[in-house]
Amino acid sequence: MPDLMHTPLHDLHTALGARMVPFAGYEMPVQYPLGVMKEHTHTREKAGLFDVSHMGQVIVGGANFETAARALETLIPVDILGLAENRQRYGLFTDESGGITDDLMLANRGDHIFIVVNAARKAADIAHMQANLSGVTVTEVADRALLALQGPASEGVLGTFDAKAAQMRFMDVATLSLAGAECWVSRSGYTGEDGYEISVPADQAEMLARALLAHAEVEPIGLGARDSLRLEAGLCLYGHDMDTDTTPTEAALAWAIQKVRRTGGARAGGFPGAGVILKELEDGASRKRVGLLPEGRAPMREGVPLFASAQDGTPIGKITSGGFGPTVGSPVAMGYVTADHATKGTTVFGELRGKRLPLTVTPLPFIPANFKR
């Protein structure tokens, strides 16, 4: 495929028989010979290895952690200064109208902050930070791959490489030596399962991936199952479940904004769109992202319009992600509905092939999270 970038694991994907597709400017594996359904189930039951090297890895450095944290808090409405050393936290970049320009993970790695952003947004995010942050350096880490090892067997597998991996708790970060490679590891992921994300030098990535895959519990998993896993886990996909037209409160991500950044907090506001975002945190939003369970067997995908009634009326929202949930055993979806239809148990109707089919507003996640807290 011309003009598409390759990750350091491209040759391995090909050797493993992956079906490659274009994604965010990269040629990425959508599935391996196991197939999406079995890859999904394998990750929930054992462990799956994902190549997420297309994502952006960025270091924000300054005189010390506090300098970098204070700078980033001008762009991100979360408590970064209060993040303990070797801990990670979810965050958002917002714009002046209160919309979300990307979501990200932030880690306090002692003297700097390590950030992981979405592939499709990394160039924009880096430019945004470089243009708006002063007194800090913003450096893309282009010489590292990023792997995710996800599923209940992950701890046992990674523990054979470095026993310290097993001692980490959910959202801890650590530098571990894995098969001789210096890796920046976090205990986190995008599947709702226990697991790790592993930043590894690009020239050692294939070696480490092969060593992980040598464990009988570990199978390679493509983007297809990554999507159904994160959907069952109720996790947002940027550009689909949130974007510049959705605010944190609308996206049901208010939990990510700690008290200290809210009205009355010691470092309230001071980020783009604070006026809109802080007001909505107090008053609520007119629409909200919710989980939706189609009552029938037909999957309802992104773009399906939602109605309050089976017969008439104007749309009250739309589905932003949807498909079949292999672990749930039925279709699952998420989308936006007006606040008066966002209560759990509410029935709404999706229009599919000319028919209005019922869905039930359902708390997220669809499956209980399996984190090592």
Partner 1 sequence: MKFTEEHEWLRREDDVVIVGITEHATAQLGDIVFVELPDVGTVVAKDDEIVVIESVKAASDILAPIDGEVVEVNEALADNPALANEDATGAGWFFKIKPSDPAQMDAYMDDAAYKALIA
Which residue in 81, 298, 310, 369 binds partner 1 (CB under 8 A)?
Answer: 298
Give the total of residues touching partner 1 (CB under 8 A): 15
DSSP secondary structure letters along 278-345: HHHHHH--SEEEEEEEESSS----TT-EEESSSS-----EEEEEEEEETTTTEEEEEEEEEGGG-STT
> Rounded to the nearest whole angstrom, what is the least distance from the CB of residue 324 to partner 1 in the complex?
4
354 binds partner 1 (CB under 8 A): no
Q: Taking the alpha carbons of 350, 352, 354, 356 in that order, is the dihedral positive or negative? A: negative
- The yes or no reply on residue 366 touching partner 1 (CB under 8 A) is no
Of 28-36, 124-132, 198-206, 254-262, the window that binds partner 1 (rule: CB under 8 A) is 28-36
* Integer Cα distance of 225 and 322 in angstroms: 13
297 binds partner 1 (CB under 8 A): yes
Q: Which is nearer to partner 1, 248 or 294 (CB)?
A: 294
What does 154-173 look like in DSSP terms, one character per residue? Answer: HHHHHHHH-THHHH--TTBE
The letter for the amino acid at 169 is: R
Residue type, 321: S
Q: Per-residue x/- marks for partner 1, 321-350, CB under 8 A?
A: --xx-x----x-------------------
Q: Structure tokens of 257?
A: 């904004």
Sequence-distant (≥ 6) Cβ neighbours of residue 161 within 8 angstroms = 176, 177, 178, 179, 211
d(CA 108, CA 61) in angstroms, rounded, equals 11
Per-residue binding string, partner 1, 187-226, x by CB under 8 A, is -------------------------------------x--
Residues in 30-49 at the binding interface with partner 1, rule: CB under 8 A = 31, 35-37
User: Which of 103/227 has CB closer to partner 1?
Assistant: 227
Q: Which is nearer to partner 1, 224 or 365 (CB)?
A: 224
Q: Which residues bind partner 1 (CB under 8 A)?
A: 31, 35-37, 224, 228, 297-299, 301, 323-324, 326, 331, 353
